[in-house]
Amino acid sequence: MGVLRIKDGLNEVLIRDPYDLFTVDTPQPSPRRTRGEMLRAITVGLVFATAVATVVFWQMQQRGSERTDDPFAYFEIKAIGADGRPVTGASVRSGSEELGVTDSFGEWRRFMRAHLGGTMVLTLTKKTENGTLKALKNLAIPLRLPANGELELKSRVLMRDAGAANVVDSRVSGDEQLTAAQPQGPQTAAAPIESTVQRETVASAQPLANVTAAAVAAGTSAPTPASEVPIVGDTSFTSVWVATSGQATTATRQVAEAMRQRLRELGVTLNAASQWQINLTDLAVQNPSGQPSHILKVEGRLTGSRGSERLYSFLRNYDDAPMATARAALWESTVHMSKPYAIERRGDTWYIGSTGTKLWQLSTGQTVYNKSGQPFAVEGEGTGAMRLVATDRRPCDNDSRCVVTSAGIDRAPPHSDWNRGRLTVLGDVVPGSTIYVGGYAVRKVEESTYEYWSNPKVPGIVTVEREGKVLHRLRLAGQRTGMAVLSLPSAPLSRR
């Protein structure tokens, strides 16, 4: 379109023609786009739009699948301080995500999607006038939804000063207690021996103490004053792998699955390459009445550069629920092994170091021994810390810190009313086999003579096992006197 403007030489124009005031400037024509260029531009735009739409669609599909696979779960945390009062206004985070704060009752609640079989790690922090309170809580999510389809995860955490030795909540709550004086469920002395305790061990658990003692010594040899350094404790054996061996039954696989879940709840890492391996084996047996039955063999092994060696082994009956069997088996495993613990003197009190996981936490009433073999009882404080009961004896001689060890099955009986007895075996013992009395492995003293734990009120059942096969299944006579005699048949069960 032309541009209208006043002509140059206005005076001359007015004289010649007063109406000829304007002129029109005609613009130069611009080149137009060809059809090929237009097609190229349209093609590039379509390709770009398609790529963006594909990425957005894929992300929506991924989010949709996650929302479909992961169910909603109800999470509830109650934070309490060292004085037992609720901690209000504590920040709750999962990784870098802020989830909220605790209310006036010290409680935090939220519905969130939970990945079955996973672990929800929650970090609680609160700044105070004296410092920062902090706690870390691992909530293990079950592998399956409950029968009612409602998944609820509730727990309490103890918040302590972030500069303390252990900000991880390692207290054992009522529904999580593993190291109590008794396994889960009521038990009576009149019940069959293998349905009461069922803890068994091999001749020695010393390899475990040898492996872990070095780790404790390394963690407790800091040159700084003891009053300025938190107790390091023993953090070894915080990972394990659970597997089934032999012809695993459905019950055995269910116990293995429940045991893995329980280990995650206790803060233990499941790792197939772990040194500590737990093998579960189903053993087909006959009851004294002659009826066929099944019992569970639990074996702990230590793998290393020198191969694999057995730490402990015991037998127990299956409980009605797989989780009950798994809880008892894990508790028995901890009792069987002689485990080192770091201790440190603060004032006149000897405190026991952090164990890294709830699995190895000592409980009130247990006994530990110093390097001289002197026993020291364990008790708890109101803050959740564990300490040695006050005595005139010094566990660490002239040092302010040292290492003590738990008793282990070789040194202490499974129950206070059980005693050590002598067993004489008549007949040939198959090489490589293990003799269990009431579920506990006997310890060879000399040729044909063994030591075992017995309860005169409970009839002893002898099981001779080798590589997952039961060779003999007998009743033990004479254990009331502490001098029992076992006569082995010439042929095992498989040949009779």
178 contacts 330 by C-beta, under 8 angstroms: yes
Mean pLDDT over the full length of the chain: 75
Kindly report which listed range (18-22, 32-36, 258-262) carries the lowest average pLDDT score: 18-22
Residue 242 above 90 pLDDT?
A: yes
Instruction: Quote the pTM value.
Output: 0.56
pLDDT at 258: 93
Architecture of domain 419-495: Sandwich (2.60)
- Written as six digits, the tokens of 310 are 């057995």
* pLDDT tier at 9, thresholds 50, 70, 90: low
Instruction: Tell me how far apart the alpha carbons of residues 199 and 182 are, in angstroms, rounded to a whole number.
Output: 12
* pLDDT tier at 484, thresholds 50, 70, 90: confident
* pLDDT tier at 5, thresholds 50, 70, 90: low
Percent of the chain with pLDDT over 70: 71
Rounded to an integer, the average pLDDT of 30-41 is: 70
pLDDT tens digits, residue range 387-399? Answer: 999 888 889 987 8
Instruction: Tell me how far apart the alpha carbons of residues 388 and 394 are, in angstroms, rounded to a whole number.
Output: 10
Q: At what angle do helices 322-336 and 250-265 cross, to 10 degrees?
A: 60
- Written as six digits, the tokens of 56 are 């957005």
pLDDT tens digits, residue range 131-159? Answer: 888 888 888 788 778 878 888 888 888 88
Instruction: Tell me how far apart the alpha carbons of residues 111 and 146 are, in angstroms, rounded to a whole number.
Output: 16
pLDDT tens digits, residue range 106-119? Answer: 899 998 888 877 77
> In terms of Cα–Cα distance, which of 88, 178, 193, 270 is closest to 438?
193
Task: For strands 401-406 and 367-369, give the pairing.
Answer: antiparallel
316 contacts 281 by C-beta, under 8 angstroms: no
What's the N-to-C CA distance of the chain in angstroms?
A: 116
Cβ-based burial of 18 (10 A; exposed 0-12, middle 13-18, buried ≥19): exposed
Rounded to an integer, the average pLDDT of 166-180 is: 36
- Written as six digits, the tokens of 179 are 């190291």
Residue 29 above 70 pLDDT?
A: no
Delimiting residues of CATH 2.60.40.1120 domain(s) in the chain: 72-161
Residue 282 above 90 pLDDT?
A: yes
Q: CATH homologous superfamily for 72-161? A: Carboxypeptidase-like, regulatory domain (2.60.40.1120)
**191 vs 455 pLDDT, higher one:** 455
pLDDT at 180: 31
> Which residues are paired to 110 by β-bridges?
75
C-alpha angle with apex 281: 275 to 285, nearest 5 degrees? Answer: 155
**277 vs 51 pLDDT, higher one:** 277
Rounded to an integer, the average pLDDT of 353-375 is: 84
